[in-house]
């Protein structure tokens, strides 16, 4: 299972990722893609950088996938990209494949929510005005990307 | 003969993202009197140059698993201080 969970420093190939969990008995496949947005808290973002505590992030991703596959009859594959990304690049992809769509949708949603809650990954945004900020999803919206 | 517990623990402390910027390091070696907890490590890091800017609550992990302030530490443990997570 662990080999279907990866931190990568190259573009995410969603078709290749989906191929890892597609099987003749799995007729419902849901893919979630998280793309780099061009704005955050009202500011224009030009690029960003993801970094991670890699050994813990990989372990936590594997635990999330293990828990999800124990709770729903699904197979899940996940990649999260690190390093410098451009607007529109895929930062994360989650693919959940099940016999039927209901389990695939629920499992896919569960995995991405748990990734946001538990996996030690950080995002540094570069803004059009030349400033840089660490994204803090726990901060109030007007402080989430304070200039530094 | 009984083995005495070590009088101190030396910990490898990892700092990430904004916390590494605040402290100017991504790794610190910290020695504390035994027994020591995660809360003791956070207090010690706060006393370092730049550490006073850490927020009141700091998320931590010990040996790759999330921990609380009360988590007890053994000599050689790896303690990571984690800024607010922003993956996905």
Q: What is the predicted pLDDT for the residue at B2?
A: 61
Quickly tell me which residue has 């969603």 as its tokens. A14
Q: Which stretch of DSSP H or E encloses residue A105? A: helix A101-118
Write down the domain spans for chain A: 2-134
Q: What share of chain B is helix, strand, coil (3-state, %, to 5)?
A: 20, 35, 45
Angle at A23 between CA A20 and CA A25, to 5 degrees: 150
A vs B: CB pairs below 8 A: 69
Total tally of structural domains belonging to chain B: 1
Which stretches of chain B score pLDDT less than 50? none
Question: Are the C-beta atoms of residues B58 and B44 closer than 8 Å to each other?
Answer: no
Domain contains B25: yes
Q: How far apart are CA B20 and CA A34, in angstroms?
A: 26
pLDDT at B84: 96
Q: Average the pLDDT over A81-96 and give the result.
A: 97
Q: How far does the CA of residue B6 sit from the closest CA of chain A (Å)? A: 28
Under a CB-based contact definition with an 8 Å cutoff, are residues B11 and B73 in contact?
yes
pLDDT on residue A145? 47
Report whether pLDDT(A144) > 80: no
> A144 with A40: CB under 8 angstroms?
yes
Q: Specify the CATH number for the domain of residue B36.
A: 3.10.20.30
How many Å lie between the alpha carbon of A89 and the closest alpha carbon of chain B?
A: 12
Are A118 and B80 within 8 A, CB to CB? no
pLDDT over threshold 90, residue A8: yes
Provide the domain limits for residue B50: 8-82
Is residue A147 predicted with pLDDT exceeding 50? no
The b/e string for B66-86 (b: 16+ C-beta within 10 A; e otherwise) is ebeeebebeeebbbbbbbbbb
Instruction: Note the pLDDT of residue B1.
Output: 55
Strand A43-52 to A39-40 pairing: antiparallel
Average pLDDT over residues A14-43: 96
> What is the rounded average pLDDT of the residues A84-93?
97
Q: H helices of B1-88, where?
A: 17-23, 38-46
Q: How far apart are the C-alpha atoms of B38 and B65, rounded to whole Å?
A: 12
* A135 pLDDT more than 80: yes
CB atoms within 10 A of CB A99: 14
Give CA–CA dist A125/A87, Å, rounded. Answer: 11
The CATH number corresponding to A2-134 among 3.90.1170.40, 3.40.50.300, 3.30.160.20, 3.40.1710.10 equals 3.90.1170.40
- Return the bridge partners of A113, or none: none
What is the distance between the alpha carbons of residues B2 and A59, in angstroms, rounded to a whole number? 38
- pLDDT of B6 reads 72
Measured between beta carbons, the chain B residues lying within 8 angstroms of A119 are: 85, 87-88
Please say if the pLDDT value at position A128 is more than 90. Answer: yes
Q: What is the pLDDT of residue A138?
A: 86
Q: What is the DSSP letter of B48?
A: S
Residue A83 at interface with chain B, using a CB cutoff of 8 Å: no
Residue A67 is classified by DSSP as H
Q: Is residue B64 part of a domain?
A: yes
Tokens 């083995």 belong to: B3
Residue pLDDT, tens place only, A39-78: 998 999 999 999 999 999 999 999 999 999 999 999 999 9
Inter-chain contact A57–B82, Cβ cutoff 8 Å?
Answer: no
Q: Please indicate, yes or no, if residue B14 is contained in any of the structural domains.
A: yes
Length of chain B: 88
Mean pLDDT of A86-107: 98
CA distance B12 to B63: 10
DSSP summary character for residue A10: S
Say if B55 falls within a structural domain: yes
């Amino acid at each position: 299972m662990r080999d279907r969970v990866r931190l990568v420093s190259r573009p995410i190939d969603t078709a290749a990722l989906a191929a890892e969990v597609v099987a003749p008995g799995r007729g419902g496949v849901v893919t979630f893609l998280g793309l780099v947005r061009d704005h955050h808290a009202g500011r224009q973002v030009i690029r960003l950088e993801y970094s991670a505590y890699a050994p813990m992030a990989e372990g936590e991703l594997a635990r999330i996938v293990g828990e999800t596959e124990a709770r729903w009859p699904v197979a899940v594959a996940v990649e999260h990209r690190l390093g410098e990304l451009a607007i529109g690049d895929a930062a994360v992809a989650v693919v959940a494949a099940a016999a039927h769509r209901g389990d695939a949708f629920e499992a896919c949603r569960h995995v991405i929510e748990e990734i946001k809650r538990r996996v030690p990954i950080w995002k540094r945004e570069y803004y059009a005005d030349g400033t840089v900020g660490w994204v803090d999803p726990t901060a109030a919206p007007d402080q989430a990307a304070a200039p530094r | 003969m009984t083995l005495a517990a070590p009088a101190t623990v030396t910990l490898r402390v990892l700092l990430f993202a904004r916390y590494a910027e605040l402290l100017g390091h991504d790794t610190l070696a910290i020695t504390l009197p035994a027994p020591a907890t995660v809360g003791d490590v956070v207090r010690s890091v706060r006393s370092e140059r730049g550490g006073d800017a850490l927020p009141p609550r700091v998320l931590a992990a010990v040996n790759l698993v999330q921990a609380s302030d009360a988590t007890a530490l053994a000599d050689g443990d790896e303690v990571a201080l984690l800024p607010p997570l922003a993956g996905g």
